[in-house]
């Protein structure tokens, strides 16, 4: 039976929508092909020394041995199950992503900043040569506001010149206008050309102006697409953002409703682009006597799990002992998710009626959860097979991960 519509109508649809198809694919290429770190550790520039990652891991293990874990509000059997993996992680790869902080966390005067960022870069270069550097490293400079603009760019220049690394991340804090993002791309191009390093970009969402522009538009979405292929993440700044809204200090936290509003918009802005929305920090640190350490761990574990449930798979850590609850909560989350995810993926691939009708988008999300668990060490291939899950290649395909990526921004987005 022939349809009633003429061929000319189909041709006209293609003529009108093909350019839109191409633009959408360029703007929303999907998930990047490399693993996303579970955290970013911010360390003041003057505190970065050779062997830093190992020192953080050893300090985390010491805290765990000294204080023991309290009730974290997690399944006790899962916690017992993941603890050996957490200990191994803290010994082998305690920091997945390190950010040298030349901004708020850096408290020394500008007279010392040149020397401190150069020393931090030299320390990371030495660790890279020794094979002990974190997989991902970078620097947070100062904002592009007039008082800090020149100082911030100079620190980036000095740091990247001494880093001797092929790829690094630059974090731009306190963004207030889309024009700052546009201008900063020129700076990144110049830094990359001068130092022969591939640079990825993160933007910190710390001001209301970054969320909602003066014209009433969603400034975050504009920033994401102006930044384009370089952008790998939007990072929520817990305390600057809360303070800018006038929230009392006692209630400034990453689980405040105002924080959820900003982070929800961050998630929508980056969805499908390859960049990620990243949770902020807590300044309640696990230091002092056992009761204080346990209280801080309970809070941190709650915040980590809360973020994971909401689809925020990366957050900030500011102290070595926070690595304990970062990995315990993260590993417990992914191990708990594994059996159901694998069963549903198997049913999806076999076209079996398993009581849940999953669609391709759901299968993509399920595969992504399994891959994240594999990436961070919460599970391994044997665990996936034991749960009836697919092979790694099938997981990559279902999740939309492009094979063969080297981790640079160009691997995450098509040309154009």
Is position 10 within any domain?
no
Does residue 309 share a domain with residue 161?
Answer: yes
Question: Which of 306, 332, 358 is where one domain is finished?
Answer: 332
Please check whether residues 274 and 358 belong to one and the same domain: no
Residue 359: predicted pLDDT: 81
Domain boundary among 284, 317, 332: 332
Q: Do 395 and 300 lie in a common domain?
A: no
Instruction: Report CA dihedral (341, 346, 347, 352) to the nearest 10 degrees.
Output: -170
Residue 255, SS3 per DSSP: coil
At residue 411, the pLDDT reads 46
Cα 39 to Cα 33, 49, 243, 278: the distances in Å are 18, 20, 23, 9
Residue 229: count of CB within 10 angstroms of its CB:
21
- Tell me, yes or no, whether 282 and 390 share the same domain: no
CATH number of the domain at 224, please.
3.20.20.60
Q: Are residues 314 and 266 in the same domain?
A: yes
* Per-residue pLDDT reduced to its tens digit, 350-387: 875 555 556 888 999 999 999 999 999 999 999 999 99
Q: What is the pLDDT of residue 164?
A: 87
Query: For residue 70, how far is the Cα from the chain centroid?
Result: 27
Residue 29: inside a domain: no
* Per-residue pLDDT band at 412 (split at 50, 70, 90): very low
- Report, as an integer, the average pLDDT of 120-133: 97
Which of 412, 2, 45, 46 has the alpha carbon at shortest distance from 230? 412
Dmax over Cα atoms in the chain, in whole Å? 81
- As for how many domains the chain has, the answer is 2
Q: 301 in a domain, yes or no?
A: yes
Looking at the fold, whether 312 and 364 belong to one and the same domain comes out as no
pLDDT confidence band for 416 (50 / 70 / 90): very low
Average pLDDT of every residue of the chain:
93
* CB distance 313 to 38 below 8 Å: yes
In terms of domains, do 266 and 185 share one? yes
Q: What is the pTM of this model?
A: 0.92
Q: 414 lies in a domain? A: no
pLDDT digits 0-9 by tens, 239-278: 999 999 999 999 999 999 999 999 999 999 999 999 999 9
Do residues 246 and 352 both lie within one domain?
no
Structural domain contains residue 413: no
Going across the sheet that includes 167-172, the strands are 276-278, 231-236, 198-205, 167-172, 136-140, 97-101, 39-44, 315-317
319, two tokens? 């102290």
Please indicate, yes or no, whether residues 295 and 380 belong to a single structural domain of this protein. no
In a domain, 62, yes or no: yes
In a domain, 27, yes or no: no
388 and 287 belong to one structural domain: no
Query: Tens digits of per-residue pLDDT, 78-87?
Result: 999 999 999 9
Cα 247-249-254 angle, rounded to 5 deg: 75
Please indicate, yes or no, whether residues 247 and 354 belong to a single structural domain of this protein: no
Q: What is the pLDDT of residue 165?
A: 86
Residue 409: band (very low, low, confident or very high) from pLDDT cuts 50, 70, 90: very low
Least confident of 123-132, 216-225, 349-358: 349-358
Rounded (5°) CA angle 195-199-204: 130
Which of 307, 332, 357 is where one domain is finished? 332
Q: Residue 358 is part of which domain span?
A: 337-400
84 and 204 assigned to the same domain: yes
């Amino acid at each position: 039976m022939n349809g009633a519509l003429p061929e000319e109508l189909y041709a006209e649809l293609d003529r009108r929508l093909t350019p839109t198809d191409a633009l959408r694919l360029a703007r929303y290429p999907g998930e990047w092909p490399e693993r996303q770190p579970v955290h970013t550790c911010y360390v003041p520039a003057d505190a970065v020394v050779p062997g830093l990652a190992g020192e953080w891991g050893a300090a985390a293990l010491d805290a765990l041995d000294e204080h023991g874990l309290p009730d974290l509000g997690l399944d006790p059997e899962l916690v017992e199950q993941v603890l050996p993996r957490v200990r191994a992680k803290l010994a082998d790869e305690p920091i997945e992503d390190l950010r040298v902080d030349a901004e708020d966390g850096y408290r020394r005067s500008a007279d010392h900043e040149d020397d401190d960022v150069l020393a931090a870069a030299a320390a990371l270069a030495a660790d890279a040569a020794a094979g002990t550097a974190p997989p991902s490293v970078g620097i947070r400079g100062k904002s592009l506001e007039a008082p800090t603009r020149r100082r911030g760019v100079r620190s980036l220049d000095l740091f990247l010149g001494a880093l001797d690394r092929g790829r690094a991340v630059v974090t731009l804090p306190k963004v207030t206008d889309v024009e700052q993002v546009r201008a900063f791309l020129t700076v990144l191009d110049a830094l990359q050309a001068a130092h022969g390093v591939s640079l990825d970009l993160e933007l910190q969402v710390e001001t209301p102006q970054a969320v909602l522009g003066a014209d009433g538009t969603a400034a975050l979405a504009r920033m994401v697409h102006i930044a384009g292929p370089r952008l790998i993440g939007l990072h929520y700044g817990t305390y600057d953002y809360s303070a800018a809204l006038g929230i009392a200090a006692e209630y400034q936290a990453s689980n405040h409703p105002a924080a959820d509003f900003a982070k929800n918009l961050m998630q929508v802005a980056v969805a499908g682009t390859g960049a990620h929305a990243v949770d902020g920090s807590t300044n309640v640190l696990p230091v002092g006597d056992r009761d204080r350490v346990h209280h801080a761990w309970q809070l941190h574990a709650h915040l980590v799990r809360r973020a994971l449930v909401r689809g925020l798979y990366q957050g900030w850590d500011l102290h070595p002992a926070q690595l304990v609850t970062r990995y315990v909560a993260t590993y417990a989350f992914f191990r708990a998710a594994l059996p159901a995810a694998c069963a549903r993926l198997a049913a999806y691939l076999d076209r079996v009626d398993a009581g849940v009708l999953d669609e391709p988008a759901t299968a993509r999300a399920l595969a992504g959860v399994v891959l994240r668990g594999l990436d961070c060490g919460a599970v391994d291939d044997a665990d996936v097979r034991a749960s009836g899950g697919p092979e790694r290649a099938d997981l990559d395909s279902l999740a939309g991960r492009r094979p063969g990526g080297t981790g640079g921004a160009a691997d995450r987005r098509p040309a154009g």
